[in-house]
């Protein structure tokens, strides 16, 4: 028969550990987002070409897949996560420069930024307050990523605006699901490494922002074309 006192102490210890992981995760996430924004600003100041985005994303992916998991349990993992988010921020700056060149570019960026913040805060807050277990979403989310990846590859050759909208919308839905999934794993003890937790949440935020930029940019372009046709 289990000792009730031992069970209570064990449960309290687990709660303390979970709160510690949550606190460290959100502190590191905040720091990486600020650093990423600074790197984006540097990229915009230097006016780096748009292809730098692809280079930065590939480099960050390589680090995230092969380097971060091996260093996440040591202090070097913090340096790696800042390197990854710095690269992504630097590449993002090239994309933001392109959008700022549009007539309503600042509004598009501002709307995407606000929308990303609302999505993350709303979903993360819901997962934290409800404490529901969203682990059941894992298989669906990873399968969805594969489908979206194939659709994105196909659209490189098809170049269909409608498919681009569909892909971006699907990415937003999937990343929203990952925010619930990753936050739930932290709360329920499925993720005990705050560096890896930060990496997952950062990627969700980054992809939501990029996808919102794409959707708003396409919609703005379509509205502009329709306006030109009406004038003619």
Residue 11 in this model has a pLDDT that exceeds 90: no
Domain assignment of residue 48, given as a range: 4-231
* Residue 70 CA, distance from chain mean position: 21
What total of structural domains would you count in the chain?
1
| Residue 159, pLDDT score | 82
| Residue 4, pLDDT score | 55
In the block, which residue shows the tokens 């995760």? 25
CA nearest 77: which of 85, 87, 66, 67? 67
Confidence of residue 64 (pLDDT cuts 50, 70, 90): very high
Mean pLDDT estimate for the chain: 90
- Give the model confidence (pLDDT) of 182-225 as tens digits: 999 999 988 999 999 999 999 999 999 999 999 999 887 655 55
Read out DSSP for 111-167? Answer: HHHHHHHHHHHHHHHHHHHH----GGGHHHHHHHHHHHHHHHHHHHHH--HHHHHHH
């Amino acid at each position: 028969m289990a000792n009730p006192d031992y069970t209570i102490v064990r449960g309290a210890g687990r709660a303390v550990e979970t709160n510690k992981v949550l606190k460290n995760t959100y502190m590191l996430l905040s720091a990486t987002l600020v650093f990423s924004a600074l790197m984006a600003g540097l990229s915009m100041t230097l006016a780096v070409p748009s292809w730098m985005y692809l280079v930065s994303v590939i480099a960050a992916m390589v680090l995230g897949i092969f380097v971060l998991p091996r260093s996440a349990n040591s202090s070097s993992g913090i340096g790696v996560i800042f390197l990854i988010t710095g690269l992504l921020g630097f590449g993002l700056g090239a994309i933001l420069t392109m959008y700022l060149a549009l007539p309503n570019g600042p509004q598009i960026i501002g709307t995407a930024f606000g929308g990303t913040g609302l999505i993350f805060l709303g979903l993360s807050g819901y997962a934290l307050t409800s404490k529901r277990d969203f682990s059941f979403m894992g298989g669906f989310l990873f399968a969805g990523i594969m489908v979206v990846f194939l659709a994105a590859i196909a659209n490189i050759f098809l170049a269909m605006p409608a498919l681009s909208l569909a892909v971006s919308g699907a990415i937003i839905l999937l990343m929203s699901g990952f925010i619930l999934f990753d936050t739930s794993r932290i709360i329920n003890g499925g993720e005990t490494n705050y560096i890896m937790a930060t990496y997952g949440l950062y990627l969700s935020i980054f992809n939501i922002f990029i996808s919102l930029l794409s959707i708003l940019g396409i919609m703005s372009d379509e509205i502009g074309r329709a306006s030109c046709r009406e004038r003619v």
